[in-house]
Structure 1
């Protein structure tokens, strides 16, 4: 960035307007509030300006204009990770929204896809399904492929196939000098290592090439009981996951749901306990594996063979932008005392979701030749979500979310999962032993710290 102190912010804005024209939106412009809004609407991010490029060439122009004006920039697709970005301060930062840079090209012969930088997982699933393919997507279809994948990515396929980051084969990235380059195992290999974990700290991803999975359908679904069954279901799930094969990835959740008309009647105004997930086995083997949970006679049982692109709906993530705060811990194990802690902590009515995700397996094994993050150390993720519909509700929501994960302190490991990080959390455990090398690469590729990121290195 420019070190000159005699250039005012107003003059910087004039330079950007001259270079980018109507594509750049500043505070006070009519569209500013709309274009600065992230998916997590509890976050009030107020960047210096917002620009929404529609092509790789426009991204190059944006990077060159912003650096020439002596400002920083922050790439953002959907804004699911907005808390970490906003807390760093955006008063001298141009938000580069990639919402219009979407598109997917599937290459069925190689089982890969070329994904533009602002694309969502729903875009990938829709393009892959006609070829009998799917992807290492997360539990929500409206999350960006680039942000999720390059920050690790935990899915219902993770115990069998590892983290989503390991499916990335190459990226096209605009670096701090305004160059559009390719990074892969064979080209700019150090940068390729860094972005697989370092994500938006190193540049703006305009496209990425990812591996796809050869599943046209999967055995998946959910089991639901009233929350009064939480203790029995939790004990059974903990026993079940302790011996489940890596073909099974599942989640245990207690949901405290408000009486909202948009919720189905079986959920509205209720507290329920749910086990959901995917079983990458034959119908007969999957039925056998689920037997011990089904013996608890769930109120609702949707486990069956479904199209692979329907798996993204199983977890019932909110389909609309939601104001919330979250916290998580990585757990080394889930002994009886930890199960009891879950049962007790999940009763807090201040929580929207109290969750345990079973990981381990391939998700916990570092990949030879992988990037800065290729695994997440731990067997379970303890994750909480508390709603914060108005700013005044944030302190109470944060207290509830934090109290839940603090209940697991005796079983907590040193790691964190980057895609689960929220504002006010130490990012360093998410990078683990890679942090020092990431900082070296940051100094090489972005020596003036042009790029701000939700998970800064």
Structure 2
């Protein structure tokens, strides 16, 4: 309480301490099982407020953890000596159509940008969830429906505005603070509090996208057919194979409510005729529901059907270089009827995700051909053992072909150096030591000074 009282005197925005009204709502992460208990919560109204909060934290021996939506909060760990800096008020969206550039404040979510871009015949490299914050997603990498063609969102970023540990406002781009600009693109929130960023978007007026729903009992057949397709698919198509067990919620459409399906989703930067031909082997398996159509890019926002509201969950993931037939059968068994997992998802990688661009940031590429992700909801403690068992089985099934991690999907504290090659890791540490020598910032995946 004393920390919050002193901060109120040095800070224009709202400050919350344990026990204050609104405390529990403000400290909640997207995963509601994560019990964030910081020393205090500060809610800056602008960049000057951010600088004041950082100076206060440094004087009082606190570290600072910037946060917007609370996705991927699990790796933060203990926050007892941390000032949680909620950037909810740092909004704003500016679209330069001619330059195909977008500038957003730190509070901005994808759902506030992608529909507007779509109306202009443009598309961003967003992911599967419209309610994810753009800044956190971008600093960690960002893989979505156009990734095989255009790569990660972090390397579409053209400028980043932030407040550094010494309270300075910095605009980092290829000409200004180039080492910092490199580190921020993939190095996460280790180097300052980002107040805004700019990124490139791409001309897309329409694309062929949708989902094929199959009986869940067909999961093995669907996964075998999908996997056999992958080596023959052009970079213009990004596809994900899923097993989804929908809850019996009244807001869901009757056709899927409380039911389970094997689902292949895809987005193709091409014509309907070419898209239909690419997916023809899957349609031979006779889907129950086929939603594919030519559509504006805004339709990609809800294609994955991710939950919008916070929920308690456990998850696991791996990047793998192949999915052999035996592993497919194991994945089908683990994820199929009777599974405790709400979602098992296989994302096709490769393409631009595997090509190193000399202008890229610290997260230049991602290894592997498939990203495996599993998630189980744990509404009460009694559900956790079954979920953890199925997640462990999923991880074991693909472990022989594991080649790495995608940090935005790692939901627990880990040794972060393993995310990078030795040269990139050493360079990241040098940039950290230059811009945050006292290790003021506590990022979800921590890079030490």
**TM-score with structure 2 setting the length:** 0.95
Q: Distance in 2 between matches of 1:392 and 1:67?
A: 42
1:208-260 Cα distance to aligned partner (Å, 9 max, x none):
01000111222100000110111211111011112111111111111123322
Give the alignment of 1:111-122 within 5 angstroms.
Answer: 111-122=100-111
Counterparts in 2 of 1:313-392, with a 5 A limit? 313-347=302-336, 349-391=339-381
- Name the counterpart of 1:258: 247
The alignment's TM-score, normalised by the length of structure 1, stands at 0.94
| Cα shift readout 1:106-129 (whole Å, capped 9, x = no counterpart) | 001110101111211111213322
Residues 22, 220 of structure 1: CA spacing in aligned structure 2 closer, same or farther, 3 A cutoff?
A: closer
Determine the structure 1 residue equivalent to 2:225: 236
Unmatched 5+ stretches in structure 2: none
- Answer yes or no: is the 8 Å Cα contact 1:74–1:95 preserved in 2: yes
Q: Shift of the alpha carbon at 1:364?
A: 1.5
Matched, 1:418 2:407: yes
Is the partner of 2:393 in helix, strand or coil? helix
Quick one: which of 301, 304, 311 aligns to 1:312? 301
Confirm or deny: 8 A CA contact 1:152 1:197 kept in the other structure: yes
Match of residue 38 from structure 2? 47
Q: Distance in 1 between matches of 2:293 and 2:115?
A: 21
Tell me the secondary structure at the aligned position of residue 326 of structure 1: strand
Report deviation, 1:99.
1.6
Q: Secondary structure at the match of 1:185?
A: coil
Q: In the TM superposition, what are the counterparts of 1:86-125 in structure 2 within 5 Å?
A: 87=77, 89-125=78-114
Q: Distance in 1 between matches of 2:296 and 2:246?
A: 28
Output the CA distance in 2 between the equivalents of 1:427 and 1:318.
28
Deviation at 1:22, TM superposition (A): 6.3
How many residues of Structure 1 are paired with residues of Structure 2 in the alignment? 445
Instruction: Supply the distance in 1 between the matched residues of 2:425 and 2:121 (Cα, whole angstroms).
Output: 38
Name 1:436's counterpart in structure 2. 426
Structure 2 residue matching 1:408: 3-state secondary structure? helix
Inter-CA distance 321–283: structure 2 relative to 1 (3 Å threshold)? same
Match of 1:19 among 10, 24, 28: 10
User: What is the match of residue 74 of structure 2?
Assistant: 83
| C-alpha RMSD of the superposition | 1.6
Extract unaligned runs of 5+ from structure 1: 1-9
Provide the C-alpha distance between the structure 2 equivalents of 1:351 and 1:427, rounded to a whole number of angstroms: 27
Match of 1:450 among 437, 440, 449: 440
